[in-house]
């Protein structure tokens, strides 16, 4: 029973023959066809491949991504495969956050309805606003892939412009100094890039995790700092559960976000931070006003400075 026909395979895997042909059409599989009648024949490997497709699809991965993942598996490229899974994970986190938000606003509306016997118009807006924000998050995803080409030269570029490099080094060092992490703490570096900031903490014996949207950047950071726990993801959907970090830092990354997105990022930081968790952000941002506003409204004590009079840095510690 080596050569299986399409219907047999379909039955075995609980899918339709049409689905199998569809996967072939999309280039995910290429079963051999018999010369005379064009009937497809499936080998054990074909079936294993289909199983893989179904598993990844079960996890919600789009067919296009599955295609790439399979290609990496063909070449035994475990690294690449891992990053596809990481990417998939980060997408799931984003969706999870999305649902969480919707549930929260729904709960809110239920409460309003209970109290007011009617639904205020602004509540409707709020819900719409929520899903709008989510779409923006998704939009940010598409750019993810092409950042990768920058990774190999990142450190060179950071070091090239001597003046900027001074700022760069001093900025990282000041973040480390202000945060003054102690042994046993767990920190997160958002937009860790090649891991330079996280590396400084690691050098001090601190357990660090890093999030970056580029898998190439992550790869470089892992190479430089094997103990760094790198993970794919973005600022607006940090791929971690609630309350796991003692501090969150971010350098030379925040300015890529709009002000609105930055505030969203802050709420995300607070989500993954422990109750007393602190935040330190630095980089070429035009203004810190909106950030300091948010921090004050949310019960943080602030410390700010302009490094070399050009690079703003802000450190926030929860009061209490």
Residues engaged in binding DNA (CB under 7 A): 5-8, 15-19, 21-22, 33, 37-40, 57, 63
Task: Indicate the pairing of strand 229-232 with strand 207-212.
Answer: parallel
Name which of 65 and 101 has its Cβ closer to DNA: 65
**Can you tell me whether residue 173 is helix, strand or coil?**
helix
Give every CB contact of residue 183 below 8 A, 6+ residues apart in sequence. Answer: 205, 206
Q: Is the distance from CB of 218 to CB of 83 less than 8 angstroms?
A: yes
Q: Is the distance from CB of 210 to CB of 229 less than 8 angstroms?
A: yes
Instruction: Please return the burial class of 236, using the count of CB atoms within 10 Å of its CB with bins 0-12, 13-18 and 19+.
Output: buried
**Token pair in block for residue 159:** 């070091």
Name which of 43 and 259 has its Cβ closer to DNA: 43
CB of 88 to DNA, least distance (A): 15
CB of 17 to DNA, least distance (A): 6
Phi-psi map region of 275: left, alpha, beta (phi>0 left; psi -120 to 50 alpha): alpha
Name which of 57 and 271 has its Cβ closer to DNA: 57
CB of 75 to DNA, least distance (A): 24
Residue with token string 């609630």: 242
Name which of 18 and 293 has its Cβ closer to DNA: 18
Name which of 37 and 162 has its Cβ closer to DNA: 37
Rg (CA), the chain: 24
CB of 220 to DNA, least distance (A): 35
Q: What is the dihedral of CA 283, 288, 293, 299, to 10 degrees?
A: 30
CB of 82 to DNA, least distance (A): 24
Name which of 38 and 118 has its Cβ closer to DNA: 38
CB of 39 to DNA, least distance (A): 4
User: What is the Cα–Cα distance from 127 to 148, expressed in whole angstroms?
Assistant: 35
């Amino acid at each position: 029973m080596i050569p299986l026909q399409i219907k047999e395979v379909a039955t075995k895997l609980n899918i339709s023959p049409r689905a199998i042909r569809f996967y072939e059409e999309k280039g995910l599989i290429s079963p051999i066809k018999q010369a005379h009648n064009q009937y497809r024949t499936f080998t054990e490997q074909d079936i294993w491949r289909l199983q893989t497709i179904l598993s990844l699809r079960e996890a919600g991965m789009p067919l296009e991504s599955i295609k790439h993942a399979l290609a990496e598996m063909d070449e035994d490229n475990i690294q690449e495969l891992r990053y596809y899974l990481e990417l998939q994970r980060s997408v799931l986190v984003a969706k999870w956050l999305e649902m969480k938000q919707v549930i929260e606003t729904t709960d809110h509306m239920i409460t309003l309805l209970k109290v007011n016997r009617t639904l205020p118009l602004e509540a409707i807006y709020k819900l719409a606003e929520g899903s709008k924000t989510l779409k923006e998050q998704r939009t940010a995803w598409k750019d993810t892939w092409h950042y990768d080409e920058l990774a190999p030269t990142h450190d060179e570029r950071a070091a090239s412009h001597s003046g900027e490099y001074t700022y760069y080094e001093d900025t990282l060092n000041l973040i480390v100094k202000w945060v003054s992490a102690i042994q046993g703490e767990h920190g997160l570096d958002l937009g860790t890039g090649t891991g330079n900031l996280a590396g400084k903490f690691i050098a001090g014996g601190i357990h660090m995790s890093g999030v970056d949207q580029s898998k190439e950047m992550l790869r470089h950071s892992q190479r430089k700092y094997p103990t760094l726990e790198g993970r794919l993801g973005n600022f607006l959907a940090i791929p971690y559960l609630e309350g796991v970090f003692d501090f969150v830092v971010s350098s030379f990354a925040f300015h890529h976000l709009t002000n609105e997105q930055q505030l969203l990022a802050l709420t995300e930081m607070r989500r993954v931070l422990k109750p007393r968790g602190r935040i330190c952000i630095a980089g070429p941002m035009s203004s810190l006003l909106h950030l300091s506003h948010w921090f004050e409204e949310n019960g943080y004590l602030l410390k700010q400075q302009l490094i070399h009079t050009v690079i703003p840095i802000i450190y926030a510690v929860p009061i209490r």
